[in-house]
A = this chain, B = another copy of it.
Amino acid sequence: MVAGAMTSGRRAKAGAAKKAAILRAGLDIFSRVGLHGATLDRLAEKAGVSKTNLLYYFPSKEALYIAVLQDLLDIWLAPLRAFRHDVEPLAAIGDYISLKMAVSRDHPQASRLFCLEMLQGAPLLKTLLERDLRQLVEEKSAIIRGWVAEGKLAPRDPHHLIFTIWATTQHYADFSTQIEAVCGQTLQDDTFFHQAVENVQRIILEGIRPR
């Protein structure tokens, strides 16, 4: 059934739901302790299934890890794909910042796991980064370069601008522990979230406004 076979429908759904629960548990735990820090016991417990049952749905811990990573990429790339080229530059970039901040608030595990992979040298994502991400970044960079040429943006290197946006927005998810230790607040707090978005936007947008 899991391996194929469009049987019943009710059962297939139950299987899919379990798979989804395991994937959620995987994202949650891997994002905290990494592939090596996670144990099948903890993963199974978190997902609410037995260890053997988990291994029925995913042949190995690594297979689950890879499946989790694949799901992750969609979440991570969505904001960049949604980057607008048909509106005012400062509006487009301002929107992109708030979109990324929302991802940091709503999918902190995804952000953290992505970060974890990067720290390790991205053994599993490297090819994908060098191909897809690089091309996507080139596209968006061309738009930004165009804006600079038209004088709609102060002269800044598009790559470094994009890195600055990624860095600041993801920081609120990846370093939430530190932020909480220093400020006593997190992005879950609505007031704090808006304050953070506004401050980041102000700094970056004023930093690229033409004069």
Task: Please pick, from B118, B134, B137, B174, the residue contacting A118 in the complex, using a CB distance under 8 A.
Answer: B174
A147 contacts the other chain (Cβ, under 8 Å)? no
Task: Please pick, from B34, B137, B156, the residue contacting A203 in the complex, using a CB distance under 8 A.
Answer: B156
A108 to chain B, nearest CB (A): 10
Secondary structure call for the A interface: helix
- Interfacial chain B residues near A203, Cβ < 8 Å: 156, 160-161, 164, 203-204, 207-208
Stretch at the interface among A11-19, A83-91, A179-187: A179-187
Interchain CB contact under 8 A, A177 and B36:
no
- Interfacial chain B residues near A126, Cβ < 8 Å: 177, 181
Interchain CB contact under 8 A, A161 and B199:
yes
CA distance A203 to B182 in the complex (A): 24
Interchain CB contact under 8 A, B37 and A34:
yes
Q: How many copies does the complex hold?
A: 2
A115 contacts the other chain (Cβ, under 8 Å)? yes
A122 to chain B, nearest CB (A): 5
The answer to whether A204 and B202 touch (CB under 8 A), given A157-B195, A167-B171, A174-B119, is: no
Interchain CB contact under 8 A, A205 and B207:
yes
Write 10 A-B pairs (CB below 8 A) sorted by A numbering. Answer: A34-B37, A116-B116, A122-B177, A129-B178, A156-B202, A159-B182, A163-B172, A166-B171, A166-B175, A167-B167
User: A residues within 8 Å of B by Cβ?
Assistant: 31-37, 112, 115-116, 118-122, 126, 129-130, 133-134, 137, 154, 156-157, 159-161, 163-164, 166-168, 170-172, 174-175, 177-179, 181-183, 195-196, 199-200, 202-209
